[in-house]
Chain A
Amino acid sequence: MGYRVGVDIGGTFADFCAFDETAGSIGTVKVLTTPDKPGQEVIDGLKALEDRFGIAPGDISYFTHGTTVGINSIIMRKGIRLAMFTTENFCDVLELARLKMPDPYHLLSSRPEPLVTRDLVFGVAERMLADGTVDSPLDEDSLRAAVAAAKARGAEGVVISFLHSYRNPAHEQQAKRLIAEIAPELHVFTSHEVRPIIREYERSSTAVIHGYVQPRVAQYLGALQEALSGIGVTPEPMITKSNGGIMSVEVGKTACVEMLLSGTAAGVMGAAFVAREAGEDKVLSLDIGGTSADVAIITGGQPGYGMNEVVGDFPIFVPTVSVTSIGEGGGSIARIDAAGMLTVGPDSAGSTPGPAAYGRGGTQATITDAFVTLGLLDLSALGYGMVSVDRDKAVAVIQPLADSLGTTLEETAEGIVGIAVSGMFREVSKLCSRRGIDVGEFSLLAFGGGGPMMACFLARDLGMKRVIVPPSPGVLSALGGLTADVRNDFTETAYYDLAPANAPRMGETIARLTEKARRWMVEEQHYEGTPVFHASGEMRYRGQSFEIEVPIDPAALAKGDIAPVTEAFHAEHRRLYGHADAEAPIQIIAINLVVTGHSAKPTLPRYTPAPRSVEATQSMSAWIDGARREVPLFKRTDLTPGASFVSPCVIAQDDTTTIVPAGFTGAVDAHGNLILTLAETADAH
């Protein structure tokens, strides 16, 4: 028995969550990030854990870690100097992308400059056809010329992305071998190895992002390994992945593309864990940080997964926990526009300089400043005393807005909150229409530093009946890492009709992928348990251009029976889009296989004391629901399981503040989650 420690590194803070396997309790710590010295914050945080909870590095039995080194390399464009080799006459794949501009109403809208610019893209004479046959062989002389040209232009690495390599990778493999011979100093990445998906831009973009960050991330992980073992942490560190799973740090060194969005994914995994523990079937998670609000749909304790996510300016096509990011966070800036309208965001003061109230040089009014001005935040020490709030500074930036609107300070601050909430309302409404869900059936699970601050307002607007605030909402991503399973995704492009004649092909593909996955688990991941395999197909009606994912039962397939998967596709199509066509031919575009290795989960203690109503012992003067009033102030530590309370009230704790406007009744469940239930009211406004 020992301590299981999860670490998540964000923009401002590195969050630590330590689960005591003996006592079943959770301790949390936050330290400031050290962007100039990645990894130092991990050592700092472990030290803080030791100081605060007496957890020595040697007591750590399990360690998970989410890193932002990869994503920061992309955002700050600090990856390696990378070249790309394409099929001759198709060199502009990154330049053209999918043509559409980010803002099609704007005549000057432009695509971001690719990570590999056109002077480092070289065509190689070769051609593979769509069915995988060779149209013209790889011309080694043209490859040598490309290598020489790339080296002359200073390339440190090469991404090879040839047409139809998802179908037949022979030319990419041949090119890789040859480069290893003639230029062993170059890092070489092939698109089929990174992710063998059809669609040349999507595959190339994913491979480029991978190659761009891989050397940096591998270096970081190596240094981290050393530092951890240097201070006496013995288990092999695990790295959180964008797919909500984990992998060993050793595997991570070659699978960088899989961890780029691990921070948000781990948060959702933490939320899903809380939802499962609380027995909540339909949950919308709301993670609000300094610059954005991330929303995810969690049903039956499981998040959704998607393939098409954005990293920095670029799309990436690896399986990822589906998260919708809204450009509004605690640092979003409020201003008066040219027409005299008050607007909020999308630009943000971020974590540096941050809200004016933080006193770190922020000079613009942010959402956090509005809450501080209203008196709803100024009694709680934010961020464990590393940041304190100064109401005078907040008032100083809100007052000018009030002056130009001709309203009072408080009305303006409340207006900023209202506008921010309405912006989130707009985005969440869109998400629900896109997925065809009725948000009224969902509970809102709030976390991140700002989630509990805004969740009740948003839930009230959306007509959601319940808000859940977990015990440590500020460190849910770190907890998420501790609840994650070892997980990896394998894929093969299929692209044929879903027909009985093709059942053997599908079966062979699944067997091949299963074997690959098994080897990965055993040989690379050194997993000792029994891995679980889950096959699925990306399918569509012929003529459609988008696929939906449907589980495949290999046992039925082995008997040549495609009826179950066919029916499952029609049913899923009907569920998602409201209609299905039993007569239409179905294409299977890709076969996916997910392998998971169960990891031990923290078992949260359950308390079931008798319900009791509690009253706050303190109150504060604050403006809420359109008037100044004495608002009861609870300390979160006083709200133990079984407690119930009424609103309006404010609940302060180390890592966040929960603001509960009128109309909610509060209760604390067996795990210590705040359950805030909206009473039926005719009109909330």
Chain B
Amino acid sequence: MRTDPVTLKVLENHAQAVAESMAFTLFRTAHSTFVKETEDFTTGLVTPSGMTFASPRDLGATWFIGLDYKGALEMIPDYDEGDICITNDPYSGFVCTHTPDMHIWKPIFWEGEIIAFAVGHIHNTDMGGAVPASLSRANTEVHQEGIRFRPTKLISRGVMNDQLLETMMLNVRMPEQNRGDLNAQIAAVNTGEAKMHEMIRKFGVETVKNGIEDLLDVGEARARAVIAGLPDGDHRFVDYLDEDGPGGVPVRLELTLKVRGDEVIMDFTGSDPQLKSALNMPTGGNPRHILLMVGYNYCLYTLDPSIPLNGGILRAATCIVPEGTVLNPQYPAAVGMRSLTCGRLQGVIMGAFHAAAPDRLPVGAAGGGGIVNVKTFDAASGKLSMASIDPVTGGAGGSALGDGTDGSGANSAFLKNTPVEINEVEVPIKFRRYGLVPDSGGAGTARGGMATELEVEVFTPDTVITARNRDRTIFAAWGGSGGQPGAPSLFTRVTPKGEEINLGNTDVVTMGPGDVFNLTSGGGAGYGDPFARPVALVVRDVLRGSVTPEKAKASYGVVVDREGVLDEAATKALRDAHVAPAPATFSYNESRRAYEAIWTDANYAALTQALTLMPVHWRHFVKREVFDRIEALPEAARKGDGSEVWEAVEAVKTRVPGLARSMQVQEAAE
């Protein structure tokens, strides 16, 4: 350490003040409501090599702590004072992660030397491309996701590149918003530069330079101390996205977490091949790419909330992400909806860490509800009305430290809803119900958080409901240590005739007058044997309507009526007769168990291995082909040892001669 602990703490506060002043400047001056509402932006300070050493704590997106700017910074050959650079290309340096995110950076010079960069991003409402807002699961190539800028000087020595700016504005659907938000970003990095200069004047340049490196070292040391508190060992965890594209088959995300002393290796081998949809996560194989590290950051912070949140904490981890997979796609795979994958991956990482510290971290969070947008018309005037109405999040998982929070929490704790009253004034729809769903939280010694339910009636033809990031209708939140999984999510349309239509994971649906949709998120999972839950808490849950008397009896062995009157004798009898479940780290819902009865670990390992041998552009096609063949197999032909997968792969090769030729070309090249 080059800096004494007192000075370092003072420097940390001053660096945080710079990053936070940038954030408030951006937030204050941004134009788009999207930025104000979702706070989907970042600001921060990075070292000359791109490592984040200060980022705001109470404003902005929570995902990008420690985002590594190196890839983009290096693509600019030389910097001058007064330069400001941008990029929104997910494949140039792997800093930007989808096209709506416009990243910006400004070198901060002192006496001719770059001391730091002021950085940040804003999620723009639209960057052009195939669909409004630039994002759709159905996109297959990044080119459909809007105009892209590789790392470029937007402002060179204080002079704006107007041609570049106007090219951008020509290609986006709401240029005034983009222009306004870009100005807010420029104001933010300029604030960062000015305040950083103040800091250097105050403390001296050497003190600041040393302090920056020491802050990262402290972050690393603190992260290593947290990891050293975990037992060494390998923890494998798997979860799925329900669909790999509209109407598709599941996507497997697999992690083997290797805890080795004071560091971890996160090996994602076994995760699906890259997809022909926009669910891919562009990481470039960076062993500490931020999209791979969000869940890691959450887990470490939960294990020790006093660790500094800077790029130093990432140094205690190394990721392995094979190329050509959903977690490391090759250009030009579409990546716009990487947030759905990233969200589930956070859960996978939480699962593996839960296995390493089951008494300190929660089990599976609900997820899957989606973020609901409505486009409809005023019945009388015909006026178009469009709004994002609510995220339907669902509860957190239970833990040894208590129940999961109801309705939201864990890795969706940053989302905010919109009041029913505001929605009804702004959009001509009627809410019929908004609240929590009884019995949806997985039973456990610690109960899972309840699901959220939204029920809305629409009044005009051609009303379009979009539910972005729909998932979890098949694979529900996973329980642990005898706790039960959460309820799956549901999306239902009820026609005026009363006909109920299950919409599954559909994310866009058109409805008409009198139609009602009900969107129910999953529930959080439970932790620990539900029969060990204190009776008083079960009674409380019944009184509060979180658990019905029927569920209390069936899942918790507590006989209680709606008014909370307990039948002690009956409860004792039920609980005495209960045989505690065999100790298992995880428990899964029925449809996942059914799926894994077909897609055993061995079968999936065979598929992954077979696909790895194929050129990337064939992989998703072959995956689907193999899935069709495995599904068509008679029950008796299923062995689950991988052999049926190899047979199916051979059958595909036989049917598609081009595949075999392509594999030969690849082998020859290698």
Query: How far is it, in angstroms, between the C-alpha of A89 and the C-alpha of B453 when the chains are bound?
Result: 10
Q: Are B29 and A579 in contact (CB under 8 A)?
A: yes
Residues of chain B lying within 8 A (CB to CB) of residue A129: 424, 430
Contacts A89-B435, A104-B414, A198-B419 given; indicate if A338 touches B306 (C-beta within 8 A): yes
Neighbour of A545 across the interface among B37, B362, B405, B407, CB < 8 A = B37
Q: Are B218 and A339 in contact (CB under 8 A)?
A: yes
Query: How far is it, in angstroms, between the C-alpha of A336 and the C-alpha of B4 when the chains are bound?
Result: 13
A584 to chain B, nearest CB (A): 10
Q: Does B570 contact A (CB under 8 A)?
A: no
Neighbour of A107 across the interface among B17, B221, B362, CB < 8 A = B362
Query: How far is it, in angstroms, between the C-alpha of A579 and the C-alpha of B430 when the chains are bound?
Result: 35
Q: Are B424 and A164 in contact (CB under 8 A)?
A: yes
Residues of chain A lying within 8 A (CB to CB) of residue B402: 108, 110
User: Which of B377-414 touch A at CB < 8 Å?
Assistant: 391, 393, 396, 399, 401-402, 405-411, 413-414
Query: How far is it, in angstroms, between the C-alpha of A308 and the C-alpha of B261 when the chains are bound?
Result: 47
Q: Are A100 and B414 in contact (CB under 8 A)?
A: yes
Instruction: Identify which of B266-274, B473-481, B537-545, B593-601 touches chain A.
Output: B537-545
A499 to chain B, nearest CB (A): 15
Q: Are B436 and A426 in contact (CB under 8 A)?
A: no
Q: Which of B297, B401, B413, B452 lies at the interface centre, i.e. has the most chain A CB atoms within 10 A of its CB?
A: B413
Q: Does B498 contact A (CB under 8 A)?
A: no
Q: Are A433 and B544 in contact (CB under 8 A)?
A: no
Q: Are B421 and A430 in contact (CB under 8 A)?
A: no
Q: Are A89 and B544 in contact (CB under 8 A)?
A: no
Q: Are A419 and B298 in contact (CB under 8 A)?
A: no
From DSSP, what is the main secondary structure of chain A's interface residues? loop
Residue on B nearest A100 in the bound complex, by CB: B416
Q: Does A90 contact B (CB under 8 A)?
A: yes
Neighbour of A685 across the interface among B4, B187, B203, B406, CB < 8 A = B203
Query: How far is it, in angstroms, between the C-alpha of A338 and the C-alpha of B306 when the chains are bound?
Result: 8
Q: Does A425 contact B (CB under 8 A)?
A: yes
Residue on B nearest A165 in the bound complex, by CB: B421
Residue on A nearest B56 in the bound complex, by CB: A430
Q: Does A434 contact B (CB under 8 A)?
A: yes
Q: Are A683 and B202 in contact (CB under 8 A)?
A: yes
Contacts A338-B222, A419-B6 given; indicate if A95 touches B425 (C-beta within 8 A): no
User: Which of A126-158 touch B at CB < 8 Å?
Assistant: 129-130, 135, 152-153
Interface bits A59-97 vs B (CB < 8 Å: 1, else 0): 000000000000000000000000000000111100110
Instruction: Identify which of B20-28, B109-117, B489-497, B528-536 touches chain A.
Output: B20-28
Residues of chain A lying within 8 A (CB to CB) of residue B25: 433, 436
Residue on A nearest B545 in the bound complex, by CB: A118
Residues of chain B lying within 8 A (CB to CB) of residue A119: 540, 543-545, 564
Neighbour of B407 across the interface among A89, A96, A198, A342, CB < 8 A = A96
Contacts A96-B452, A419-B6, A433-B24 given; indicate if A108 touches B218 (C-beta within 8 A): no
Q: Are A426 and B17 in contact (CB under 8 A)?
A: yes
Residues of chain A lying within 8 A (CB to CB) of residue B13: 419, 422-423, 425-426
Q: Does A279 contact B (CB under 8 A)?
A: no
Q: Does B233 contact A (CB under 8 A)?
A: no
Q: Are B298 and A105 in contact (CB under 8 A)?
A: yes
Q: Are A130 and B391 in contact (CB under 8 A)?
A: no
Residues of chain B lying within 8 A (CB to CB) of residue A546: 36
A340 to chain B, nearest CB (A): 6
Q: Are A544 and B33 in contact (CB under 8 A)?
A: yes
User: Which of B188-243 touch A at CB < 8 Å?
Assistant: 191, 195, 198, 201-203, 218, 221-222, 225
Residue on A nearest B410 in the bound complex, by CB: A107
Q: Are B422 and A342 in contact (CB under 8 A)?
A: no
Query: How far is it, in angstroms, between the C-alpha of A103 and the C-alpha of B299 when the chains are bound?
Result: 13
Query: How far is it, in angstroms, between the C-alpha of A103 and the C-alpha of B411 when the chains are bound?
Result: 11
Query: How far is it, in angstroms, between the C-alpha of A89 and the C-alpha of B518 when the chains are bound?
Result: 13
Residues of chain A lying within 8 A (CB to CB) of residue B191: 433
Query: How far is it, in angstroms, between the C-alpha of A419 and the C-alpha of B417 when the chains are bound?
Result: 37
Contacts A96-B452, A100-B413, A105-B298 given; indicate if A422 touches B10 (C-beta within 8 A): yes
Residues of chain B lying within 8 A (CB to CB) of residue A166: 421
Residue on A nearest B37 in the bound complex, by CB: A545
Q: Does B316 contact A (CB under 8 A)?
A: no
Residue on A nearest B26 in the bound complex, by CB: A433
Interface residues on A, range: 35 or more
Q: Which of A166, A405, A411, A415 lies at the interface centre, i.e. has the most chain B CB atoms within 10 A of its CB?
A: A415
Q: Are A101 and B33 in contact (CB under 8 A)?
A: no
Q: Are B17 and A338 in contact (CB under 8 A)?
A: no
User: Which of A345-360 touch B at CB < 8 Å?
Assistant: none
Residues of chain B lying within 8 A (CB to CB) of residue A492: none
Query: How far is it, in angstroms, between the C-alpha of A467 and the C-alpha of B305 when the chains are bound?
Result: 36
Q: Does A375 contact B (CB under 8 A)?
A: no
Q: Which of B14, B430, B434, B543 lies at the interface centre, i.e. has the most chain A CB atoms within 10 A of its CB?
A: B434
Q: Does B350 contact A (CB under 8 A)?
A: yes
Q: Are B5 and A108 in contact (CB under 8 A)?
A: no
A195 to chain B, nearest CB (A): 14
B269 to chain A, nearest CB (A): 25
User: Which of B303-317 touch A at CB < 8 Å?
Assistant: 304-306, 309
Interface bits A664-685 vs B (CB < 8 Å: 1, else 0): 0000000000000000000111
B173 to chain A, nearest CB (A): 15
Q: Does A199 contact B (CB under 8 A)?
A: yes
Q: Which of A106, A130, A412, A423 lies at the interface centre, i.e. has the most chain B CB atoms within 10 A of its CB?
A: A130
Contacts A107-B298, A338-B225 given; indicate if A405 touches B5 (C-beta within 8 A): yes
Residue on B nearest A576 in the bound complex, by CB: B28
Residues of chain B lying within 8 A (CB to CB) of residue A423: 13
Interface bits A149-193 vs B (CB < 8 Å: 1, else 0): 000110000000001101000000000000000000000000000
Q: Are A338 and B424 in contact (CB under 8 A)?
A: no
Query: How far is it, in angstroms, between the C-alpha of A135 and the C-alpha of B429 when the chains are bound?
Result: 13
Residues of chain A lying within 8 A (CB to CB) of residue B37: 545
B360 to chain A, nearest CB (A): 9
Q: Are A425 and B17 in contact (CB under 8 A)?
A: yes
Q: Are A430 and B419 in contact (CB under 8 A)?
A: no
Contacts A98-B416, A200-B421, A685-B203 given; indicate if A107 touches B21 (C-beta within 8 A): no
Q: Does B572 contact A (CB under 8 A)?
A: no
Q: Are B9 and A101 in contact (CB under 8 A)?
A: no
Residues of chain B lying within 8 A (CB to CB) of residue A107: 298-299, 302, 350, 361-362, 365, 396, 409-411, 413
Q: Are B218 and A99 in contact (CB under 8 A)?
A: no
Residues of chain B lying within 8 A (CB to CB) of residue A433: 20-25, 28, 191
Residues of chain A lying within 8 A (CB to CB) of residue B165: none
Q: Are B407 and A577 in contact (CB under 8 A)?
A: no
Q: Are A544 and B9 in contact (CB under 8 A)?
A: no
Residues of chain B lying within 8 A (CB to CB) of residue A95: 406-407, 435-436
User: Which of B16-66 touch A at CB < 8 Å?
Assistant: 16-18, 20-25, 27-29, 31, 33, 36-37, 62, 65
Residues of chain B lying within 8 A (CB to CB) of residue A495: 425
Neighbour of A152 across the interface among B65, B409, B563, CB < 8 A = B563
Given A95-B436, A577-B29, 5 additional A-B pairs, CB 8 A:
A96-B435, A105-B301, A461-B202, A545-B418, A578-B29
22 chain-A/chain-B pairs, Cβ below 8 angstroms: A92-B406, A95-B436, A96-B417, A99-B393, A106-B298, A107-B365, A107-B396, A109-B409, A109-B413, A118-B544, A119-B543, A164-B424, A166-B421, A198-B421, A198-B425, A339-B218, A407-B6, A425-B14, A433-B20, A463-B198, A545-B36, A685-B203
Could you tell me which B residues sit within 8 Å of A by CB distance?
4-6, 8-10, 13-14, 16-18, 20-25, 27-29, 31, 33, 36-37, 62, 65, 180, 183, 187, 191, 195, 198, 201-203, 218, 221-222, 225, 297-299, 301-302, 304-306, 309, 350, 361-362, 365, 391, 393, 396, 399, 401-402, 405-411, 413-422, 424-425, 430-436, 452, 455, 540, 543-546, 563-564
Could you tell me which A residues sit within 8 Å of B by CB distance?
89-92, 95-96, 98-101, 103-111, 117-119, 129-130, 135, 152-153, 163-164, 166, 198-202, 336-343, 405, 407, 411-412, 415, 418-419, 422-423, 425-426, 429-430, 432-434, 436, 461, 463, 495, 543-546, 576-579, 683-685
State the 5 A-B residue pairs at the shortest beta-carbon distance, nearest first: A415-B6, A101-B413, A422-B13, A433-B24, A92-B435
